[in-house]
Amino acid sequence: MTTTTRDDEFYRQEAALLGVLLPPPSPPAVKNEDHTMNDEEYARQLQKKIWNEERTQSDERYARELQNEMQNEISQDNTQGDEDNARQLHNQLLDDVPSWPTRHVLIREDARPDDIQQGSQIGSCWLLSTISALVSLSIDALKRIFKNENLTSGRINVQLYEAGLPRILSIDPSTFPYGVSSCRRNQLFAPVIEKAVAELRGGYEKLDGGRCVEALEMLTGCPCEEVQLTKEEDDDAWLWARLLSAHEAGFVSCVSTKNAQLTSDLAPSHAYAIVSILELFEPPPPLGTGTRHRLLRLANPHGPESKYSWQGQWSEHSSCWTPEMRQAALDNSGGTSSSIATFFISLIDLRRHFATLSICEYRPHWFEHRLSLIDDAVCSMQNVDQYDTSIEATAQLFAPSDAGILILKDSRVIASAPIGLDRTNPCHVHVSAQDTKLIVLPLSFNQQASRNLVIRSSRPLLVASKSPLSPSLRRNAILSYVRSASKTEPISGYAFVHTRTDTAACFVVVDNIHPHARLQVKISVLEAYGLNFSRQRVHSQANTIVSTIPPGYTALVLLLAASSASFGFRLQKQFQFISPLRCLASEKLFKTIFHSSSSAADDFLTFEPPLIYGLADDLHAPVPLTLFS
């Protein structure tokens, strides 16, 4: 390689570029007096030393000192080639330089939802919209995620939650891959959180697609709920009341658009943060209430550069606005106008274009208990403050292949919540001073699954893990849960079928009210995949179970729960009444045979597959209807 001396102009340009990109430390103390290192090795060590030194000087002063240092040290024995080789060295140095300058901060006190800019290579809108919602709630809500904010340490500790348990991840904020998220005004909170979630999930490619409710739980560890906006029974009044109560309580909310693109103004399968909600009246008070308009302000994580811009009613240039209403909307939104990144939309349009609403019950000052339950263990809650008449509490279960969660008081179900694809919705309950002990019962039948239970309360509670309930109490609680909210179908006037279908579970309970005849129930589970079955694991495309229910009894015939996000099944039901044997006409004799363990009971009642624990202890054994009258 030929030796050539670089000209001063090129050094000035290189120093200026490095001065912008590098943090301004104290002058480095790296020496190369004997020229034992070549220029490239020396330049790399010099850059590394600069990065680790104290960042206290201005960019301009640092650029001048860097220029002098490189001129005095490197140019003494320059063995580099021509100008192209020098520029190649310069580019290699830039590759090793952190992608943010000294003036960057983790998060500013006046951070805004529209500071976040989604990257071009990753579909992480479900995560970034959640971060936008946290920013709109309060800066403290976002700061709680970071356990240290000192950028000079070179690492940032980020606390996330996985399956209900906290995880601390140490993140290097100096470099980020191309195409990831960024923040305006020299902030780093969005790319740092995105990098932590990518590390937790196993790579940036795992961030391409997700659910807002998942991101809310991951960032806050608080109970979260996902509401389907497409259900017919969810009318506008109920939805608005739900949004208002969540907003007034300081909860975090996001919405996701439908998969099909219904308008060119909104991105399909995209998540938006709810920044604020408000009601406007035309004409506004005090002139009169007039026409009421229910509006939401949403934030698009794509930022102002998004190709999607809401142009419908109540957009920035919509004719729906009057000067008075626009001013009222600005006052409600902190004095900032809407834009491509943030915009107003009516409740009617929200229902038309969006599929799900995710709500996080963010209560940072509540007391928290996190437990791991083994096998069929349950949890107890007790109010130990005799002067506190009622303590508000929530319970949430993170467990695969479970069907939900119940809260029992004196063996009665007082609260319940179904499980989703990965966790239950929060189960709410008030614990009074008279409640000596409440039992939290997971609706579980997969004995090998680990279960993480989170109890959060407004005041301290005594929470402890307990041994499993007796089989009869557990069975009766599940029967009460199914019968309380299910679709009831009469069969031949002497039987009722209660079918409860939750997000990721299905229950079938059958009542036999015939005075004498037994009822044989045959259910075929067709086209089944991604399911766990309480009586056997579903492997094939067709599975048939048979249960015999005595007269005056009820039984849980079927319990299915999803084992993966992709699942499906179809049920085919058959019913047949069987006349009793002449020798069983006596009610006393019938009860004797039913509660015995003799072969007569097996002949009288048929179960396929057989009951594992027998008539007394099995989850699917019949019980008298009189217990539920």
Catalytic residue numbers read 125, 270, 300
Q: Which of 210, 337, 343, 336 is nearest to 265 (CA)?
A: 343
Q: What is the DSSP string of 539-600?
A: -SSEEEEEEEE-TTEEEEEEEEEESSSS-EEEEEEEEEEEPPPGGG-SHHHHHHHHTS-SHH
Neighbours of 190 (CB within 10 A): 28
Q: With contact defined as beta carbons under 8 Å apart, do 73 and 26 qualify?
A: no
Buried b (16+ CB within 10 A) or exposed e, 285-294: eeeeeeeebb
The residue assigned the tokens 């506008």 is: 236
| Interatomic CA distance for residues 461 and 385, integer angstroms | 8
CA–CA separation, 270 vs 124, rounded Å? 9
Angle separating helix axes 212-220 and 189-201, nearest 10 degrees: 100
Tokens encoding 493: 């006037």
Identity of the amino acid at 563: S
Q: Which pair of structure tokens corresponds to residue 577?
A: 């009444």
Give the three-state DSSP class for 210: coil
**Distance (Å) of CA 392 to CA 38, 263, 320, 388, 395:** 69, 42, 42, 11, 11
In this structure, what are the phi and psi dihedrals at residue 518, rounded to the nearest 5 degrees?
Answer: -80, 155
- Strands, E assignment, 265-411: 271-282, 291-299, 342-346, 354-360, 367-373, 378-382, 390-398, 404-409
ω into residue 173 within 30 of 0, thus cis?
A: no
Structure tokens given for 619: 């989850």
* Alpha carbons 271 and 128: distance in angstroms, whole number: 8
Please name the amino acid found at residue 11. Y
In DSSP terms, 293 is beta-bridged to 280
**Where does residue 449 rank: exposed (0-12), middle (13-18), buried (19+ CB within 10 A)?**
middle
